[in-house]
Amino acid sequence: MNGKDKSEQKKNEDFGHLNRRTALKQIMGLPVLGGLSAGFGASFSLEEGCLLAQSETGNNEKTATDKVDAVSGATRTSWEMPDTSTLKSKITKAKIGPLEVSRLILGGNLIGGWAHSRDLVYVSELIKRYHTKEKVFQTFQIAEQCGINTFMGNPIMNEMMSEYWRWTDGKMQFISDCGGGGGHTIVENIQIAIDFGCDACYIHGGIADRLVADKDFDTIARCFEVMRDNGLPAGMGGHYQSTVQGIVEEGLIPDFWMKTFHHTKYWSAQNPTEHDNIFCREPDETRAFMQERPEPWIAFKTLGAGAILPAEGFKFAWEGGADFVCVGMYDFQIIDDANIWNEVQNAPSQRKRRILETVTENEEPAAEEA
């Protein structure tokens, strides 16, 4: 039983026992403000908030998406969703192996606190504090309302995803990047992600760059083997053109690519010293290489980690041949970004690479309930 199945089973068990006083006694003394503001890894979890809110209202029939207000204390509030009336249509999907993946993918760097903020030392901590558990789950649900059905993260986020599947009705797919760390090899971390229940894996871009530079193709082959033996699409990341070219020359072909792609005309890209400011130094070479590749390509860092406007970056990526774009988005950006992506995809373009077949046409957003 993988992580998704276990989350669903535990959800059913917990909601059948919400009225048990023993469960409430275990959480009544937990700190509300401290726990929620600390984000993930805090002792006060979302499910505990649901239980505590219900104990105070005397109502044991609330939904999993009820929450504790971190400002006013342990009071039940509704899960407030933003007005989606400005969403023009939902994001379409195409296939990576058997997976139906939204062409716009929610990236995990902002949620995880990896801001790529050049030399601003406080930004990563700021965005980690912004992304409380409730804020992350709300971000996921906004994304799903827009047709974005896939989140790109890493095994550190396994527990977060488990709670989202368990305590909401969300169906967000999880593609996990995998590298060495936590006392595990890259192959071991891939197996951990698979056992958890991720929908696809790929070799983390920085790790992939190093493996190819070291000519450690045996490890790459083993990673692909483990992914495919478990029935998952096997992906290859990379920041350098030499990375993706290198494995093709070795005859190692992934099921999908996760390759950086952006232009280099923004201001900070011109700095001769590289300091978290540029992620694709050879966009023309990347475009030409991908033009000849049949495998699906997820382009990331398409906005230069926040230095390029979405309308500009999305157009560059789509016309350059990207099949999907992975973008870190705050909750308040998602609807606008979805509209911009659809405008770019539907407009006449100079794209030369083949277009993957759309498996779900744009849908009109669901009408708000009265």
- Which pTM was predicted? 0.80
Q: Could you give the CA distance from residue 185 to residue 11 in angstroms, rounded to a whole number?
A: 32
- Predicted confidence at residue 279, as pLDDT, reads 86
By the 8 A CB rule, do 370 and 117 touch? Answer: no
Q: How distant is the alpha carbon of residue 145 from its chain centre?
A: 15
Q: Could you give the CA distance from residue 39 to residue 236 in angstroms, rounded to a whole number?
A: 30
- Nearest partner of 46 among 120, 125, 141, 116, judged by Cα: 141
Q: What are the chain's domains?
A: 3-77 (no CATH), 93-346 (3.20.20.100)
By the 8 A CB rule, do 4 and 197 touch? Answer: yes
The CA distances from residue 324 to 106, 107, 299, in Å, are: 11, 12, 6
Q: Report the greatest alpha carbon distance in the chain.
A: 65
By the 8 A CB rule, do 304 and 278 touch? Answer: yes
Q: Could you give the CA distance from residue 193 to residue 174 in angstroms, rounded to a whole number?
A: 10
pLDDT digits (tens, 9 = 90+) for 91-125: 999 999 999 999 999 999 899 888 888 888 898 89
Question: Residue 326 phi/psi, 5° resolution?
Answer: -100, 120
State the number of CA atoms in the 13 A half-sphere of 370 facing the CB. 0
First to last CA, the chain: 40
Element (H, E) at 166: helix 158-167
- Predicted confidence at residue 273, as pLDDT, reads 82
Question: Amino acid identity, residue 238?
Answer: G
User: Could you tell me the two tokens for 339?
Assistant: 């509209």
State which residues of the chain have pLDDT below 50.
10, 14-78, 370
The residues that bridge with 256 in the sheet, in sequence order, are 235
Q: Could you give the CA distance from residue 193 to residue 338 in angstroms, rounded to a whole number?
A: 28
The CA distances from residue 213 to 177, 243, 258, 293, in Å, are: 19, 7, 17, 21
